[in-house]
Amino acid sequence: MVQKTSTRNPKVWFFAERTLIYALIAVFLFITLSPLIWVLSTSLKPNTEAISFPPKLLPESPTVENYLFVLTDPALARSLINSFIISIGSTALSVAVSSLAGYAFARFEFKGKNVIMSIILGLFMIPIVINIIPLYTMLANFGLLNSLLALMLTFQILIIPLNILLMKNYFETIPKELEEAALIDGCSRLGVLRRVTIPLSMPGFAIAAVLSFRFSWNEFILPVVLANRSDSMVFQVALYQFISLYRIDWGYLSAGITLSLIPVLVLMLTFQKQMIKGLTLGAIRE
């Protein structure tokens, strides 16, 4: 026994510490969740009740009509599908492209390596908004406005630099020896990638994918300018239509908000373990 004090003390200390921890967590839980609970509760109220003041937490006559409206209205449903297509496509593209680039930085030595890396990281510093007009002009000239493919490509600028960094660091944690062993065994470079590197890189892909999806799914300013034809609209832009200058359809809006956070949330929950592992190894070297 090292302690000189009575045996009660460590126990009390332990409980005090535990209580403090849980108390703090509870406070932050409350702060984090209250706006969201409010949104959820509003989404279950019929539109007329939604704008009542003073605000009531529990809906008097809960209804799912708002969700039904958002999911069945053809324009909104279409925009939801568009968002999915663009986000999934953009994610696939981003992961593929960033992995290739990250692999190059991790495994090869070549002229200009540091310069290119610095430029790529430097591009991350550009505020997106100043690019709107030149991007629009460029896409307009190539007839690519309102094209889902063009949006997929444009969203890359939000994510590629970060993903390249993460993938590069992640690949660096995979021992070169594994790949070299496979090479010696007669595998081609591409084969090595397929059989050795990629299976081991799942966590890296996980974090790159989740980040790409999140940024693509939530983007508002780029789609509003580059693709606002009714059949190429994305969900976030479509939702904004409920916020008109003269009237806010709180019920529909909050139902839409709740729906919009499900995909990213589900992704993060499902791949939490891999994602965090990918992030861990992806950040270690600086």
Partner 1 sequence: MKISKVICTSLVLTIVLVVSLAPGFTTPVVAQKQQVTLTAIVAEPKERWDILFNDALQKLREKHPDIDIQVDYRVLPYDATRTQILTAMVGRTPIDLISVDQIWLGEFAQGEFLTDLTERANTWGKEKDWYKTNWDGGKYNNKVYGIWAWTDVRAMWYWKDLLNQASLDPNSLKTWNGYITGAKQLNDALKGQGIQGMHLVGASHSPDMWYPYLWMLGGEILEQKSGHPTKGTYWFPAYNSTEGVRALEFIKEQINAGIKPQINHFWGQEFADKKFAVMLEGSWLLGTFPREQWANIDQRVGMLPMFSVPNENNMTATMMGGWILSIPETSKNKDLSWELLTLMVEPEVLTPMLQKEGYLPTQKPIGEGPYASQLNTTIPYYNEMISMISVGHSRPNVPEYPQIADNIKQAIDEIYFGAKEPKQALNEAALKSAKVLGW
Partner 2 sequence: MPSIFEKAEPYLFLTPALAILLIFLIFPLFWNTYISLHDVSLTTILRGWEYIGGTNFINLFNDPNFYTSLKVTLMFVGGSVALQFGIGMLMSVLLHQQVRASGVLRAIFIIPWTISAVIAAFSFKFIFDYNFGILNYLLNEIGLQSVGWLSDPSIVIWSLVIANVWYGTPFTILFLTAGLLSINPTIYEAAVIDGATKIRSFIYITLPLLKPFIVINLILITMWSVNFFDIQLIMTGGGPLFASTTASLYMYRQAFEFGLLSKGASAGIVLIAINISIAFIYHKLFRR
Is 55 a binder of partner 2 (CB under 8 A)? yes
To 5 degrees, how large is the angle CA 45–CA 51–CA 53? Answer: 115
Is 76 a binder of partner 2 (CB under 8 A)? no
31 makes contact, choosing from partner 2, partner 1, none, with CB < 5 to 8 Å by partner type, with partner 2
- Partnered with residue 248 across adjacent β-strands are 243
Return the residue of 40, 71, 88, 120 that touches partner 2, per CB under 8 A.
120
Q: Look at residues 61, 82, 70, 59 and name the one whose alpha carbon lies nearest to residue 255.
A: 70
Number of residues that bind partner 1 (CB under 8 A): 22
* Binding residues for partner 1 restricted to 38-77, rule: CB under 8 A: 51, 53
The token pair at 259 is 């729906």
Q: Point out which span in 3-11, 127-135, 179-187, 194-202 binds partner 2 (CB under 8 A).
A: 127-135
Site string for partner 2, 6-25 (x = CB under 8 A): ---------------xx-xx
Return the residue of 7, 177, 246, 262 that touches partner 1, per CB under 8 A.
246
* Binding residues for partner 1 restricted to 87-146, rule: CB under 8 A: 132-133, 136-137, 139-141, 145
Distances from the Cα of 268 to the Cα of 15, 65, 155, 159, angstroms: 32, 28, 20, 17
CA distance 228 to 75: 12
Distances from the Cα of 79 to the Cα of 1, 144, 230, 254, angstroms: 67, 18, 8, 16
Q: Point out which span in 3-11, 67-75, 180-188, 265-273 binds partner 2 (CB under 8 A).
A: 265-273
Q: Which of helix, strand or coil describes residue 69?
A: helix
Is 214 a binder of partner 2 (CB under 8 A)? yes
CA distance 116 to 221: 28
Residue 6 amino acid letter: S
- Partnered with residue 243 across adjacent β-strands are 248
280 makes contact, choosing from partner 2, partner 1, none, with CB < 5 to 8 Å by partner type, with partner 2
Residue whose CB is less far from partner 1, 69 or 124: 69
Return the residue of 68, 75, 149, 265 that touches partner 2, per CB under 8 A.
265
Question: How near is the Cβ of 140 to partner 1 at its closest, in Å?
Answer: 3
Distances from the Cα of 166 to the Cα of 97, 110, 175, 211, angstroms: 13, 20, 16, 11
191 makes contact, choosing from partner 1, partner 2, none, with CB < 5 to 8 Å by partner type, with none
Q: Which of helix, strand or coil describes residue 248?
A: strand
Which residue reads 């496979």 in tokens? Answer: 182
* Binding residues for partner 1 restricted to 171-230, rule: CB under 8 A: 224-225, 228-230
Check the CA dihedral 271-273-275-278 and report its sign: negative
- Site residues for partner 1 per CB under 8 A: 51, 53, 132-133, 136-137, 139-141, 145, 224-225, 228-230, 240-241, 243-247
